[in-house]
Structure 1
Amino acid sequence: MADIKFEIKESIGVLSESPKGWKKEINLISWNKNTPKYDLRDWAPEHEKMGKGITLSKEELKELRDILNKMDI
């Protein structure tokens, strides 16, 4: 399996934290030196490990925001 390189360009926020210290975060990340995308996933305390997540372009993030704003929660 090839190494995945990433650079966190901006830490936007933490949604939750597990008892073991893993945090569900939303960040702006450049994967393999590509254009940064918005990323939502679990991270180990020092970002040395990551869980599965999703990446979104700015347009996708705006669409998600609009969908969430329409929800009755």
Structure 2
Amino acid sequence: MAEIKFDIIKNIGILSEGAKGWEKEVNIIRWNGRKAKIDIRDWDEAHKKIGKGITLSKAELKQLKEVLNEINIGELDIEK
């Protein structure tokens, strides 16, 4: 398996912390030398191991923000 290279340009914030100390983070990341994108995924404390996540372009992030702004969180039937 090819090595994945990444450069965390900026940490935007931490969404949660798991029982094993991994944190779900929102970062701006450059993967394998490509253009930087918004990335949401779990990271170990040393930022050496990564979990599954999602990477969004600026346009996708803008659309996600618009979708989330339309949601009434109190009305969602999800974990409270």
Amino acid at match of 2:13: G
| Count of aligned positions | 73
Structure 1 residue runs without a partner (length 5+): none
Point out the structure with max Rg over C-alpha.
2
> TM-score under structure 1 normalisation?
0.97
Q: Which runs of 4+ in 1 moved over 6 A?
A: none
> TM-score under structure 2 normalisation?
0.89
Structure 2 residue runs without a partner (length 5+): 74-80
Deviations 1:26-49 (A, max 9, x none): 000000011000000000011010
Q: How does 1:35-50 map to 2 (within 5 A)?
A: 35-50=35-50
Higher strand share: 1
Amino-acid identity (%): 58
Q: CA deviation at 1:18?
A: 1.1
